[in-house]
Amino acid sequence: MTEKTYQHIKELLSEAGLKATHPRIAVLHELMLSDEHPSAEQLHDRVSRQYPSVSLGSVYRVLEKLVEADLVYQVATRGGSKRYDANLEQHCHIYSINTEEIQDYYDPELNELIKNYFHEKQVSNFKITDIKLQINGEKRDPKSKVTIV
């Protein structure tokens, strides 16, 4: 990781009021590098290559804190394991049930449509944090990506 990225991540943590520890920096960095919404265990495998001393328990604890601090998004799934996303921009998820993959789908026009639709709605007894569109289905060729145009 470049010195620049490392410093940037430290700042993100500090600004959020979190100690910039090695496990936290390493986990957040790995998550930022990934676009596949990894699980705690997958992140631990990757982090372990550079920092073999980071424990799986710490990865779980770190992720909990990062989610709490809104530095990381926790993705909804149909079971299995918890999955995480460091991409906080508004986007949708394509869930492939057969492969357990979660692929990002960016569509500013759709985001706008939904935002406007809810803008004129009255929501009571609830504080909305985000609205997410889930596209569920089955990937045909597991090796290639899904495209929507």
Give the residues lining the site for DNA (CB under 7 A): 10, 13-14, 18-24, 39-41, 51, 53-58, 60-62, 64-65, 79-82
CA triple 61-128-89, angle to 5 deg: 65
Position among 7, 14, 50, 136 found at the interface with a copy of itself (CB under 8 A): 136
CB of 137 to a copy of itself, least distance (A): 4
Partner that binds at residue 62, options DNA, a copy of itself, Mn ion, none, CB closer than 5 to 8 Å by kind: DNA
Estimate the crossing angle of helix 3-15 against helix 22-33, to 10 degrees.
110
- The DSSP secondary-structure symbol of 53 reads T
Closer of 50 and 115 to DNA (Cβ): 50
The tally of CA atoms less than 13 A away on the side-chain side of residue 140 is 2
| Sites for Mn ion among residues 87-116 (CB under 5 A) | none
The 3-state DSSP class for residue 67 equals helix
Is the separation of the CB atoms in 100 and 80 below 8 Å? Answer: yes
Please report the sign of the dihedral spanned by the C-alpha atoms of residue 31, residue 37, residue 39, residue 45.
negative
Q: Does 85 bind Zn ion (CB under 5 A)?
A: yes
Q: Which does 85 bind (CB under 5 to 8 A by kind): Zn ion, DNA, Mn ion, none?
A: Zn ion
Q: Which stretch binds Zn ion (CB under 5 A): 3-11, 57-65, 96-104, 106-114?
A: 96-104
What residues does 94 pair with on adjacent strands? 103, 135
Interface residues with a copy of itself (CB under 8 A) are: 74-79, 82, 94-97, 110, 113-114, 117, 121-141, 144-149
